[in-house]
């Protein structure tokens, strides 16, 4: 059974804790912003799962690497620092896997979006946009998941070159609009909307609860055991799907 340290004990940390035992894991540490982080704290764990904040993750990273335990990072907002983070992990001979969203359903949705974007790319009559809805307590907007979806589209639809998030402004033909809404207790709804004069197509993913995200993080913690280096959730999925690099 894998022994887990949870860094950050908010809603996601509690969701991981709730399903750990049924996924052959046990949570032995539940750390918050007031916890002292030293290598000794993590001595008896097999992996660290981080769901904190951008600033907290970047600040804590040296201490986490010093502990020499694999790190699963579900915190978002820091990916602009990815190259710096990678360098620190490699210099310490550490192991880390990260994702903007650890839900396996969402990750497979990303791949479906990629495939659909390629199909519609040659046909300029079809316009495309992204929407996302989350609970009112969510801090970032657009969500990290929506930005990942948008970047999949930008990478595969050449006529879309930039993201536009101002829904009060009509998007230019080269702009991919992301519309964000904060509503009640919605866990997460993401949609890709494709429209022409003759057709309307919508791909949508709805999260029913947080446990899908939690299960993905636990599966990643198992997968990264005995590895070194920096991995994305795509590396994990490629192996699961039998896709060779």
Exactly one of 11, 86, 118, 138 is catalytic; name it. 138
Q: Is the dihedral of CA 11, 14, 18, 19 positive or negative?
A: positive
Residue range 178-213, pLDDT digits in tens: 999 999 999 999 999 999 999 999 999 999 999 999
Domain around 157: 104-206
**Same domain, yes or no: 113 and 137:** yes
- Listed residue (30, 39, 77) closest to 58, CA to CA: 77
Same domain as 143, residue 236? no
Identify the pLDDT of residue 98.
97
CB neighbour list of residue 229: distance below 8 Å, 6 or more residues apart: 89, 90, 95, 96
Looking at the fold, whether 112 and 200 belong to one and the same domain comes out as yes
Q: Are residues 125 and 95 in the same domain?
A: no
- pTM equals 0.84
Check residue 31 and give its pLDDT. Answer: 94
* pLDDT-flagged residues of the chain (< 50): none
- How many domains is the chain partitioned into structurally? 2
Please say if 138 is a catalytic residue: yes
The catalytic residue among 69, 134, 190, 215 is 134
């Amino acid at each position: 059974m894998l022994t887990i340290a949870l860094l950050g004990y908010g809603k996601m940390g509690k969701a991981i804790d709730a399903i750990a035992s049924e996924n052959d894991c046990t949570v032995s540490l539940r750390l918050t912003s007031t916890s002292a982080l030293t290598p000794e704290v993590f001595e008896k764990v097999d992996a660290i799962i981080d769901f904190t904040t951008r600033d907290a993750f970047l600040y804590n990273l040296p201490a986490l690497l010093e502990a020499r335990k694999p790190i699963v990072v579900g915190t978002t907002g820091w990916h602009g620092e990815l190259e710096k983070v990678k360098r620190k992990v490699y210099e310490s001979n550490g192991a880390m896997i990260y994702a903007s969203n650890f839900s396996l359903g969402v990750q497979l949705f990303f791949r479906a979006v990629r495939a659909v974007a390629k199909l519609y790319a040659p046909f300029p009559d079809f316009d495309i946009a992204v929407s996302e809805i989350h609970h009112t307590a969510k801090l970032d907007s657009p969500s990290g998941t929506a930005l990942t979806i948008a970047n999949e589209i930008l990478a595969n639809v050449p006529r879309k070159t930039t993201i536009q998030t101002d829904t009060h402004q009509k998007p230019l033909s080269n702009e991919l609009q992301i519309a964000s809404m904060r509503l009640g207790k919605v866990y997460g709804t993401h949609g890709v909307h494709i429209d022409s004069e003759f057709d309307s197509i919508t791909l949508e993913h709805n999260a029913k609860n947080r446990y899908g995200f939690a299960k993905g993080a636990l599966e990643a913690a198992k997968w990264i055991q005995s590895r070194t280096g920096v991995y994305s959730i795509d590396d994990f999925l490629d192996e699961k799907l039998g896709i060779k690099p």
